[in-house]
Structure 1
Amino acid sequence: MQSFRTEIENPVVEKDIIELERKIRLFKEGKVDEERFRSLRLARGVYGQRQPGVQMVRIKLPYGKVTGDQLLRIADVSDEYSTGRLHITTRQDIQIHYVNLDRTPELWAELEKSDVTLREACGNTVRNVTASELAGIDPDEPFDVSPYAHAVFQFFLRNPVCQEMGRKFKMSFSSSDKDSALSFIHDLGFIPKIKDGERGFKVMLGGGLGSQPNHAELVHEFLPVDKLIPFIESVLRVFDRHGERAKRLKARMKFLVQGIGIEAFLKLVEEQQLALSYQEYPIEVKDFEKDYDALTAEVPEVVIENEKGYNAWKTTNVVKQKQEGFYAVGIKVKLGDFYTDEARKLAALIKKYASNELRLSLRQNILIRDVREELLPYFYQELSALGFTATGYNTTIDITACPGTDTCNLGIASSTGIADVLEDVLRNEYPEYVNNTDVTIKISGCMNACGQHNMAHIGFQGMSIRQGKLVAPALQVLLGGGVLGNGSGRFSDKVIKIPSKRGPQALRALLDDFKSNGKEESFLAYYDRQGQKYFYDFLKPLSETDNLVADDFVDWGHSEAYVQAVGVGECAGVVVDLVATLLFEVEEKLENAKIALAGNQWADGIYHAYTAFINAAKALLLAENVKTNTQAGIVKQFDELFAAQLGLEGTFAKLVYQINENEPTESFAKTYLEEATSFYKTVDAFRKKQLEDEVTK
């Protein structure tokens, strides 16, 4: 690590990277528990993949924004540490695969030279804050949400409130009432509004996909922008304290809201107000204002030889901006995969002829912004040379798919393979869908819905199916989901399970029936009118398994017989805490609190001390095999089992919950840290005596 420590200008980032290198070394020496080490590396964007011995590294790109220099840096890193392939996710990240664990600190340090981070791209943290790729240029937007998404990203990065939650936490910012950032499926979703000349957000809370999708609930029709970050911090504090931690499938915030009810949840949110870092948090927007008059690059001479192709491309892939005379150019990136040589050419193009910025989209595409109208022919020529002018950006033919069994531990069946085939079916047999935006198709390799299959008009979920003792890859067909706008949406119905190799037949059957029996209505209206059983009945012949042939037992994109091999997923960062490791981490929390107080960060110091209280109490409870599902439960159970034994004055709850009863002042922060330190010493001594007594028995 010495070779790059001095090259990182930000001491906080440098410390973070050095800590990762140190924990890797301790893990390999057997001094750090594997499960706790997993939690640490996940919070640094390092994710185990399906193939043993290598890692997937997720690069966190808030609201999908990438500059030319950042794209060049990512390309260099991918070539040096990975395979040169870049994968765009449905959360506007970039993933690279087959990375050696030992080299991840070095990789991270290289990225930080261009202000690109891995921090909290995975694990039980605030994940990448997403936003509509049109934010800032959308003709329908009340205002640009980019500054607000960026402020949220910055405020909660490394924030002690959200480092070790029970599960991941996702937020999105839509640019308009069209809700293209899908607020209804997020833990928190924001839609911009203007009321009496003031900026604010409509707020949706508690949404999610996965095996049990849940529509977010409306909690604010209008939240002023200065209240945005305080409200989010309050929600995160409640989720951290009351969210489930032991049962992974019940640990997302949607289950907490369902369990206690939205009114009780919001009451808990209100109770956090006194302890917040800020009661109001103004957000600066000037840095996001561009001088469009300065974008005056000379227009190269271009001769368009394929006028038909150029016009088709302009129809589906070029978007008029709200800035007069400027356009955005959409690049349909098949399955979200592109390569470093293409990335470098894109970087050069946007640096010279646009505003040196592109945005990655929620549909795994690229949007180049701020292109003058007279430069469109040149962009078509240059993008054609890269193979980046395929029509159908954000249309039916633009299929979303997760990596599935290619690299993911949880993949059951190939999602990329079937997506590739279905796109060929659409392009070759149903050309009318190249321009269609009424129907979306999404595919996931398992029930976790990273491909968002259960909110699509037509969705497919990877599964398996049996014929006697043989197992074949399969697809669950889902129908009837979609975005309705302004915070509303609907989830798909599970219709029928079919062998994967019959996926193209199912798509043909659906589109042909829609063409024959749809009454000049939307696909959703057609689905509602016909009803779920109607589709089950006409797709049922495709579900039969007594007539499977050899090819049905080979998944799309593979040549060998299908083997169902599902590993342990890491996306949630669920870990098994050992007592010794927890007590060791209490010391780290206390040290973090001291550092925060030295920097006059009173609220951060208080929260680090709070976490030290909780982890110390949890350690003793785990030593007694007591379940510790929530932080609130830990406090209650500790009082019942240990408060008297440790000779605490008053209850543990009264001691810990001072955090809610005091403003984050210097005086309280110092007192609270002293009490947390004293409590840890008491717990540590008690635990050592327990171990001594066990030895002498």
Structure 2
Amino acid sequence: MQSFRSEIENPIVEKDILELERKIRLFKEGKVDEERFRSLRLARGVYGQRQLGVQMIRIKLPYGRVSSEQLHRIANVSDEYSRGRLHITTRQDIQIHHVSLDRTPELWAELEKDDITLREACGNAVRNVTASETAGIDPAEAFDVTPYAHATFQFFLRNPICQEMGRKFKMSFSATEGDTALSFIHDLGFIAKTKEVNGEQLKGFKVMLAGGLGSQPRQADVMYDFLETDLLIPTIEGVLRVFDRHGERAKRAKARLKFLVKGLGLDAFLSLVEQERKALAYQSYPIDTTAFEGEPQFEELQVPEVRITDQEQFEAWKNTNVIAQKQAGLFAVGIKVHLGDFYTDKARKLADLIKKYAANELRFTLRQNILIRHVREALLPFFYQELAALGFADPGYNSTADITACPGTDTCNLGIASSTGIAAELERVLKSEYPAYVGNEDITIKISGCMNACGQHNMAHIGFQGMSIKVGNLLAPALQVLVGGGVLGNGNGKFADKLIKIPSKKGPDALRILLDDFEAHRDEHNFLTYYESRGKTYFYELLKHLSDTTNLSEDDYIDWGHNEKYVKAIGVGECAGVVIDLVATLLFESEEKLGNAKEALEAGLWSDSIYHAYAAMINTAKALLTGESAKTNTQASIVKSFDEVFVATKKVVLPNSFSDLVFQINKNEPTAAFAKQYLLDAQSFFTTISAYRSLVLAEQ
């Protein structure tokens, strides 16, 4: 395991990987409890999967951008540590499965050789920053959002303010008012805008706040109609600080930002964000965009000779899969990737292709596809030929027949019914029975294996959610059918209505009924106006007969893509660990946080040092409160409870209240003097609590 140390140039990254290696060892020795270890490994992209003894690795790829060298590196890692399959997610990440926990530090070190990280790809942190895959090439865009998405990724990666929040935090950047990055379902969503001020065009964003999917989807609020780009980073930091301090931590189902904003109200939440302004590291943060400007460079300028044998198929591919860029003479080529899964042999050939002929860039998309950018018009026949040889030239990119689905019961702990199996069957039905929909982009179909909506089923025109249904003493796989969702643009969207639960094997019939009825009544309607004109009851009646379970056959008890009878199994796959003293574990972590604060202070990172010291004090207080079974569901409640349980009763003697001590953080600017004093205060508090803890243990 030591071999990778000398190969990592960045000492921060090296320390991170060595820390993962150390914690794996401590966990296996029973010195770190399972819950705390889970938190650490998730923040390093290591996720337990349904199968025992192996992990899913999520590779964090900001806005889905990948170079040839990076794609080769990912393919090599997948072959060495996994099974050669790559899975594109709906957040533009890549996942590989069936990886041994012991080998994850080594795997991570290999990826970092080409500047690829696992850090914060999972866990209660800022997840992958997504963006429109056409950003920078879209003729309708206000400006290229890519550098702003990149700056956001860089600023908050490893940032102490967002390492151990109550839940995950998701952000997106949409290039146009079409909102192709889905701002309305994000914790923070940004839509590119320009505004004329004194004859000058200013760049900025419409900011959407506290959207989300899951079992209780919520349309994001408009936080700002126009936020100038230099205020982007400070605004995000203010929101994250408030979420970290006031967000729910004990009740996981209520821990997302959408519940906090709903509970407080938008105005009260924005007031708390404003109160954080003084503590921010930057009041303004101009973003340098020059690295993302300039003309694309091509390694090979010569156009290979190509003879197209099937001109009709070539034209069909061009009509559905080729997009004109705003750069004259250049085109983007969409690749429809079935269920987001492809293999390393094809990945390498694709990497060589973009290196030589397409300015060395592709982007994984929010619909689990691939978009090659900067293809010269003369090269389109050549690209068609090369992609066809890889099985990547099927028409229908981003069409109705291009179904989005999460992994479901294939690998996910939470999957209830197969999403990939039913997706494959629905795609077959569309291709064979409804060929016109291969080029139709007006209807989207999305599938999730459970209510968590990783497949985004509840924002689709037609959505399916994996469930189970009881028939006598037996369980059959089932689907909840949802209809009427969609993206309306400019930060607005609709969530689909839940209509009816049906056995999974009747899913294709549900799709046929909906499409047949749409064709019979569409007139001038698009799908959403067609749905709204008839209403939920009409569609319930249309599908009601499919819910009948009185005459199920043996086949109905076998899920799509499976050969054996359905068994409902949720939450299998996480490793077991030895449960140890949680209070001691929390205090041990507080020491680590104080160490981080000291390192940041010595490096001149005042704001980082202050937040590490703050986190150490919160963690230390939580340790004692855990022993008292006191309320610790938010950081704010930890502060309040500590004053009530320990300070007011004089069990712990402090110069002032714990609240006064801790909340110096948002009453002072992040200067060197304050950072130094705040760290001394945090160290003194830890010493006081450690002494109290030792006394209690001695008495026991």
Matches of 2:421 and 2:373, distance apart in 1 = 31
Q: Give the C-alpha shift of residue 692 in structure 1.
A: 1.1
Structure 1 letter corresponding to 2:205: F
| 1:82 corresponding residue in structure 2 | 82
Q: Which segment drifts farther, 229-238 or 429-438?
A: 429-438
Give SS of 1:667's match: helix
| 2:2 corresponding residue in structure 1 | 2
| 1:116 corresponding residue in structure 2 | 116
Matches of 1:281 and 1:349, distance apart in 2 = 37
| 1:178 corresponding residue in structure 2 | 178
1:297-336 residue pairs with structure 2 within 5 A? 297-336=301-340
| 1:477 corresponding residue in structure 2 | 481
Contact 1:36/1:577, CA 8 A, preserved across alignment? no
| 1:405 corresponding residue in structure 2 | 409
Give SS of 1:678's match: helix
Unpaired runs of at least 5, structure 1: none
For the structure 1 residues 530 and 169, does the alpha-carbon distance in structure 2 shift closer, same or farther, using more than 3 Å as the test?
Answer: same
| 2:68 corresponding residue in structure 1 | 68
Q: Report the count of equivalent residues.
A: 690
Structure 1 letter corresponding to 2:319: T
Q: Which whole-Å deviations, capped at 9, do the CAs of 1:230-273 have from their partners, x for residues lacking one?
A: 00000000000000000000000000000010000000000000
Contact 1:144/1:175, CA 8 A, preserved across alignment? yes
Match of 2:657 among 646, 651, 657: 651
Structure 2 letter corresponding to 1:646: V
| 1:445 corresponding residue in structure 2 | 449
Matches of 1:231 and 1:135, distance apart in 2 = 22
Give SS of 1:642's match: helix
Structure 1 letter corresponding to 2:271: K
Q: Any runs of at least 4 consecutive aligned residues in structure 1 with deviations exceeding 6 A, and if so which?
A: none
Contact 2:52/2:572, CA 8 A, preserved across alignment? no
Structure 2 letter corresponding to 1:331: I
1:681 correspondence with 2:687: yes
1:180-219 residue pairs with structure 2 within 5 A? 180-196=180-196, 197-219=201-223
Contact 1:35/1:577, CA 8 A, preserved across alignment? no
| 1:692 corresponding residue in structure 2 | 698
Q: Give the C-alpha shift of residue 520 in structure 1.
A: 2.2
Contact 2:128/2:153, CA 8 A, preserved across alignment? yes
1:426-441 residue pairs with structure 2 within 5 A? 426-441=430-445
1:349 correspondence with 2:350: no
Contact 2:30/2:580, CA 8 A, preserved across alignment? no
Match of 1:630 among 627, 634, 639: 634
Q: Which whole-Å deviations, capped at 9, do the CAs of 1:372-430 have from their partners, x for residues lacking one?
A: 00000000000000000011000101100000000000000000000000001001100
Give SS of 1:189's match: strand
Give SS of 2:58's match: strand
Q: Which whole-Å deviations, capped at 9, do the CAs of 1:612-640 have from their partners, x for residues lacking one?
A: 11000011100001120100000011011
Structure 2 letter corresponding to 1:688: S
Matches of 2:276 and 2:686, distance apart in 1 = 25
Matches of 1:22 and 1:431, distance apart in 2 = 55
1:605 correspondence with 2:618: no
For the structure 1 residues 154 and 217, does the alpha-carbon distance in structure 2 shift closer, same or farther, using more than 3 Å as the test?
Answer: same
Contact 1:204/1:218, CA 8 A, preserved across alignment? yes
For the structure 1 residues 23 and 101, does the alpha-carbon distance in structure 2 shift closer, same or farther, using more than 3 Å as the test?
Answer: same
Matches of 1:396 and 1:3, distance apart in 2 = 48
For the structure 1 residues 401 and 294, does the alpha-carbon distance in structure 2 shift closer, same or farther, using more than 3 Å as the test?
Answer: closer
Matches of 2:209 and 2:613, distance apart in 1 = 28
| 1:415 corresponding residue in structure 2 | 419
Contact 1:36/1:576, CA 8 A, preserved across alignment? no
Identity of aligned residues (%): 71
Matches of 1:28 and 1:295, distance apart in 2 = 49
Contact 2:298/2:357, CA 8 A, preserved across alignment? no
Structure 1 letter corresponding to 2:144: D
Q: Give the C-alpha shift of residue 291 in structure 1.
A: 2.0
Give SS of 1:657's match: helix
| 1:492 corresponding residue in structure 2 | 496
| 1:36 corresponding residue in structure 2 | 36
Give SS of 2:192's match: strand
1:483-522 residue pairs with structure 2 within 5 A? 483-522=487-526
Contact 2:152/2:233, CA 8 A, preserved across alignment? yes
Match of 1:238 among 236, 242, 264: 242
1:98 correspondence with 2:104: no
Structure 2 letter corresponding to 1:464: S
Give SS of 2:7's match: coil
Q: Which whole-Å deviations, capped at 9, do the CAs of 1:182-206 have from their partners, x for residues lacking one?
A: 0000000000001110100000000
Q: Give the C-alpha shift of residue 577 in structure 1.
A: 9.2
| 1:615 corresponding residue in structure 2 | 619
Q: Which whole-Å deviations, capped at 9, do the CAs of 1:25-59 have from their partners, x for residues lacking one?
A: 11111111111001000000000000000000000
Give SS of 1:201's match: strand
Give SS of 2:692's match: helix
For the structure 1 residues 320 and 577, does the alpha-carbon distance in structure 2 shift closer, same or farther, using more than 3 Å as the test?
Answer: farther
Contact 1:582/1:619, CA 8 A, preserved across alignment? yes
Matches of 2:122 and 2:294, distance apart in 1 = 32
| 1:560 corresponding residue in structure 2 | 564
Q: Which whole-Å deviations, capped at 9, do the CAs of 1:468-525 have from their partners, x for residues lacking one?
A: 0000000000000000000000100000000000000000000001111222211000
Q: Which whole-Å deviations, capped at 9, do the CAs of 1:286-319 have from their partners, x for residues lacking one?
A: 1011324757621000000010110000000000
| 2:161 corresponding residue in structure 1 | 161
Match of 1:265 among 265, 269, 274: 269
For the structure 1 residues 7 and 550, does the alpha-carbon distance in structure 2 shift closer, same or farther, using more than 3 Å as the test?
Answer: same
Give the structure-2-normalised TM-score. Answer: 0.98
